[in-house]
Amino acid sequence: MTSNSATLSAPAAPSAMSAGMTFIMAAACGLIAANLYYSQPLAGPIAASIGLPAHATGLIVTLTQIGYGLGLLLIVPLGDLLENRRLIVTMIGAAAIALVAAGLSTAVLPFLAASLAIGLASTAVQMIVPFAANLAPDAHRGRVVGNVMSGLMVGIMMARPVSSFIARFSSWHLVFFVSAAVMVLLGFALATRLPKRVPQTKLSYFALIASMGRLYATQPVLRRRAFYQACQFAAFSLFWTVTPLVLAGPAFQLSQAGIALFALAGVAGAIASPIAGRLADRDLGRPATIFGILSVAIAFLITHLAPEGSAIALALLTFAAILLDFGVTMTLVIGQRAIYGLGADLRSRLNGLFMATFFMGGAVGSAVGAWAFAEGGWLLASMLGLTLPVLALAYSLTEKRN
């Protein structure tokens, strides 16, 4: 069918991105992204089961993140070179195999290798987002990207409580088997519903990867948006690394179930995605960016308005989680809308660079947050968290108006 043979030389018509297609892509993003976070609340039981020493438990999460980071730079750019539908379905199949391998693992090395592979394969999510942008008409690209990204954010926030819930009634092995089954079903759904898209790029793989350095050097919009989001995501990672420690501490004494409910509150921040997309389509990206950055800064500030451990303090911390997630999501969607406007031929590489940059920011935020909490409690950690959006805000003030 000709409708399934859209190429970059003939952009998809508005009808190519129906509400049903948008929903499928959003759901796919959420389900795939969740693979990166299932193991976080289960790190302790997994480590004990496979014989991983307590001091090395962090490797369970770290290797998944390393795999994802490598995939952003080395695999995601293939979206500018290879037929997109086949590439996405292949990566989802690889994710299913890696998840089964993790669920079957009873020793350290096989599980850690599977964790690395899960991270690599889960970069399929960052192939779907630029694919959606390519299918969307220019006037509605922000809205489409925002709707798809809302699925991704819901998947990220739901992964931890879902895996905790399954493991509570069964074992951590079942979490990976269930996700593998979901990936198989998702792969079949996308294979039958996604249109075919063949990029025009004729570069070799190595030339494609080499071109990414030139893109970063020659695209100021990419560099600026990546810096904003690196600061935002560093603050996000710091907050979500430290707040479970705060809530489990002597001031609040929440159980793991209570902390899981707290994490669910952050899902509400995903409503920012479609809002941000619509604002970007109306050329309101600049004020929306500033609003998103300020939201993150205010989120840290309001956590100090009530005595620690009080009911009001818990309510403010919950509202801060929603506000922070809202702000981070707002700037993320607007940033993607901006970089996707730099050229259809470049979207996968631009997305890989953008995501890799702010992903590194998140890794720094997690590490700094854990250190700050150990040294100075929530006060020091939150002040460092506040500094990050302030840096992004200061840089945003140097942006030239069109």
pLDDT in tens, 310-364: 999 999 999 999 999 899 988 998 998 889 888 878 888 998 899 888 888 887 8
Of the listed ranges 26-35, 185-194, 200-209, 379-388, the least confidently predicted one is 200-209
The pLDDT assigned to 15 comes to 43
Residue 339 or 202, more confident: 339
Element (H or E) spanning 92, and its range? helix 84-104
Check residue 310 and report its DSSP letter.
S
- Annotated domain spans of the chain: 14-199, 211-402
The pLDDT assigned to 57 comes to 75
pTM exceeding 0.75: yes
Query: How far is residue 363's CA from residue 358's CA, in Å, rounded to a whole number?
Result: 9
By three-state DSSP, how is residue 198 classified? strand
Q: Look up the CATH superfamily of 14-199.
A: MFS general substrate transporter like domains (1.20.1250.20)
The pLDDT assigned to 3 comes to 40
Above 70 in pLDDT, residue 384?
yes
pLDDT in tens, 253-269: 887 678 778 877 777 77
Query: Percent of the chain beyond pLDDT 70?
Result: 95
The pLDDT assigned to 8 comes to 40
Of the listed ranges 51-55, 92-96, 304-308, the least confidently predicted one is 51-55
Question: Which residue has tokens 């030389």?
Answer: 9
Query: How far is residue 328's CA from residue 269's CA, in Å, rounded to a whole number?
Result: 9
Above 80 in pLDDT, residue 277?
no
- Are the CB atoms for 265 and 318 separated by under 8 Å? yes
Looking only at the bridges linking them, the beta strands covering 196-198 and 5-7 are parallel
CA distances to 42, 194, 245, 248 from 242, rounded to whole Å, are: 17, 40, 5, 10
Query: Percent of the chain beyond pLDDT 90?
Result: 48
Above 80 in pLDDT, residue 228?
yes
The pLDDT assigned to 401 comes to 66
Mean pLDDT of the chain: 87
- Are the CB atoms for 328 and 233 separated by under 8 Å? yes
Q: Classify domain 211-402 at the CATH topology level.
A: Growth Hormone; Chain: A; (1.20.1250)
The pLDDT assigned to 402 comes to 54
The pLDDT assigned to 144 comes to 85
Residue 16 banded pLDDT, cuts 50, 70, 90: low
Above 50 in pLDDT, residue 42?
yes
Q: Where are the alpha helices (DSSP H) in 171-255?
A: 172-193, 205-218, 220-248
The pLDDT assigned to 113 comes to 96
The pLDDT assigned to 93 comes to 97
CA distances to 195, 208, 317, 401 from 232, rounded to whole Å, are: 34, 29, 18, 22
Which of 360, 273, 300 shows the shortest CA–CA distance to 68?
360
Comparing 14-199 with 211-402, is the CATH topology the same?
Answer: yes
Per DSSP, the residues of 281-295 read HTT-HHHHHHHHHHH
The dihedral built from the CA positions of residue 51, 55, 59 and 65, taken in this order, carries a sign that is positive
